Structure 1
Amino acid sequence: MTNSGQIPPHSEQLIVSIPAEHVLLLRFNRPRSLNAMTPTMHSDIKAILDWFDEEPSLWCVLVGIVTGEGRAFCAGADLKAWNKDQQSGRSNEQELVASSVHGFGAISRRTVSSKPIIAAVNGSAYGGGVEMLLNCDLVIASEDAVFALPEVKRGVVAAQGGKGTVVFIPRISGTAGHQFASEMLLLGDTISASDARNRFAFVNLVVPKAEVLTQALKWANTICQNSPDAVQSTKRGLILTRQLGGVEQATVAHAWSSESKRAYKGTNIKEGLKAFAEKRSPSWSNPAKL
Structure 2
Amino acid sequence: MTSTSPDSAILPTLSEQVNASIPCDHVLLITLNRPRSLNAMTPQMEDDLRKLLNWYEEEPSLWAVVVTGEGRAFCAGADLKAWNNDHLSGSKDEQEAILASVHGFGSLSRRVSSKPIIAAVNGGAYGGGVEILLNCDLVIASQDAVFALPEVKRGVIAAQGGIPRLRNACGHQRASEMLLLGRNVSAEEAAQHFGFVNTVVPKQNVLQTALDWAQQIVQNSPDAVQSTKRALVLAGQHGSIEQATQVHARTVESKRAYKGENIQEGLRAFSEKRKPCWTNPAKL
TM-score interval for Structure 1 and Structure 2 normalised by the shorter chain: over 0.9
Conserved in 2, the CA contact under 8 Å of 1:135 and 1:168?
A: no
- Deviation of 1:166 after TM superposition, in Å, equals 3.8
- Deviation of 1:92 after TM superposition, in Å, equals 1.8
- Deviation of 1:86 after TM superposition, in Å, equals 2.5
| Cα 1:162/1:219, change in 2 over 3 Å | closer
Counterpart amino acid of 1:65?
A: V
CA distance, structure 1, for counterparts of residue 8 and residue 271 of structure 2:
32
Partner in structure 1 of residue 45 of structure 2? 41
| Cα 1:236/1:51, change in 2 over 3 Å | same
Structure scoring higher RCO (CA < 8 A, sep ≥ 6) equals 2
Counterpart amino acid of 1:18?
A: I
CA distance, structure 2, for counterparts of residue 100 and residue 162 of structure 1:
14
| Cα 1:287/1:167, change in 2 over 3 Å | farther
- Deviation of 1:233 after TM superposition, in Å, equals 0.3
Could you state the TM-score of these two structures normalised by the residue count of structure 1? Answer: 0.94
Counterpart amino acid of 2:105?
A: F
- Deviation of 1:50 after TM superposition, in Å, equals 0.5
- Deviation of 1:179 after TM superposition, in Å, equals 1.6
Gaps of 5+ in 1: 171-176
Larger displacement relative to structure 2 (187-196 or 80-89) = 80-89
**Residue 27 of structure 2 corresponds to residue 26 of structure 1:** no
Could you state the TM-score of these two structures normalised by the residue count of structure 2? Answer: 0.96
**Corresponding pairs, count:** 280
Conserved in 1, the CA contact under 8 Å of 2:135 and 2:165?
A: no
Superposition RMSD in Å = 1.2
SS at structure 1 position matched to 2:20: strand
Runs ≥4 residues deviating over 4 A: none
- Deviation of 1:8 after TM superposition, in Å, equals 1.0
**Residue 8 of structure 2 corresponds to residue 4 of structure 1:** yes
Partner in structure 2 of residue 52 of structure 1? 56
Residue 197 of structure 1: which of 191, 200, 210 is its match? 191
Partner in structure 2 of residue 75 of structure 1? 76
Partner in structure 2 of residue 134 of structure 1? 134
Q: Once the two structures are superposed, what CA deviation does each residue of 1:195-245 show, in whole Å capped at 9, x if it has no partner?
A: 000000100000000000010011000011100000000000000110112
Conserved in 1, the CA contact under 8 Å of 2:38 and 2:73?
A: yes
Partner in structure 2 of residue 108 of structure 1? 109
Conserved in 2, the CA contact under 8 Å of 1:4 and 1:55?
A: no
**Residue 245 of structure 2 corresponds to residue 251 of structure 1:** yes
**Residue 251 of structure 2 corresponds to residue 221 of structure 1:** no
- Deviation of 1:180 after TM superposition, in Å, equals 1.5
Conserved in 2, the CA contact under 8 Å of 1:16 and 1:26?
A: yes
CA distance, structure 2, for counterparts of residue 261 and residue 23 of structure 1:
24
Partner in structure 1 of residue 91 of structure 2? 90
Counterpart amino acid of 1:21?
A: D
CA distance, structure 1, for counterparts of residue 90 and residue 263 of structure 2:
57
- Deviation of 1:162 after TM superposition, in Å, equals 5.7
Partner in structure 2 of residue 173 of structure 1? none
| Cα 1:168/1:42, change in 2 over 3 Å | farther
- Deviation of 1:2 after TM superposition, in Å, equals 4.8
- Deviation of 1:69 after TM superposition, in Å, equals 0.4
- Deviation of 1:95 after TM superposition, in Å, equals 1.4
**Residue 233 of structure 2 corresponds to residue 239 of structure 1:** yes
Q: Identity rate of aligned residues, in percent? A: 67
Counterpart amino acid of 1:156?
A: V
**Residue 154 of structure 2 corresponds to residue 154 of structure 1:** yes
Gaps of 5+ in 2: none
CA distance, structure 2, for counterparts of residue 14 and residue 126 of structure 1:
18
